[in-house]
């Protein structure tokens, strides 16, 4: 696939498959937790607290992953843009919000 520089999306580079798998697992876990919130009923405080805690930890881990990798690979960062990953190709993009 040829590199494309679009107006609102810029290809920054690639991560390894192992690194991709790390963030993918966190991404999936976050989605799972988000959808789990919709299921939990008021009478199950213990479960709710556990989900909240897990969500916090997962979000933190994800943020750490992005921080670490961006430094490691020296990715460009611009205000109003965020990093995105294509799970199929391991490409990292800078995307306008």
Partner 1 sequence: MLNNNTYKISKPPESWGGIQSKSVTFVVTENCQLACKYCYLVGKNSKNKMSFEVAKKTIDYLLDHKSLFPSPSVIFDFIGGEPFLEIQLIDKICDYFKISAFEKDHPWFESYRFSFSTNGILYDSPEVQKYIEKNRMHLSIGISIDGTKRKHDLQRIYPNGKGSYNDVIKNIPLWISQFPDASTKVTISRDDIPYIKESVLHLWELGIKSVNINVVFEDVWKEGDDEKFEQQLMELGDYIIEHKLYENHHCSFFSENIGKPNFDNQNWCGAGKMLAVDYQGNFYPCVRFTPFSMENKQAIVTGNCYEGINLNKLRPFLTLDKKTQSTEECINCEVATGCAWCQGANYDFADNETIYQRSTCICKMHKARVRANKYFWNKLENVNNLVNEKV
Is 42 a residue that touches partner 1 (CB under 8 A)? no
The string of DSSP letters for 32-49 reads: HHHHHHTT--TT-HHHHH
Q: Which of 11, 12, 36, 62 contacts partner 1 by CB under 8 A? A: 36
* Interatomic CA distance for residues 80 and 22, integer angstroms: 25
Is 5 a residue that touches partner 1 (CB under 8 A)? no
60-89 residues near partner 1, rule: CB under 8 A = 88
Residue closest to 87 by CA, chosen among 30, 32, 16:
16
Binding site for partner 1 (CB under 8 A): 25, 28-29, 31-36, 38-40, 47, 50-51, 54, 88
């Amino acid at each position: 696939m040829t590199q494309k520089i679009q107006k609102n999306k810029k290809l920054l580079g690639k991560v390894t498959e192992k690194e991709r798998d790390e963030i993918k697992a966190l991404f999936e876990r976050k989605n799972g937790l988000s959808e789990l919130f919709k299921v939990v009923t008021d009478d199950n405080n213990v479960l709710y607290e556990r989900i909240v805690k897990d969500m916090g930890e997962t979000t933190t881990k994800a943020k750490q992953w992005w921080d670490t990798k961006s430094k490691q690979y020296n990715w460009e960062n611009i205000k109003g843009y965020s990093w995105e990953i294509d799970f199929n190709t391991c490409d990292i993009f800078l995307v306008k919000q």
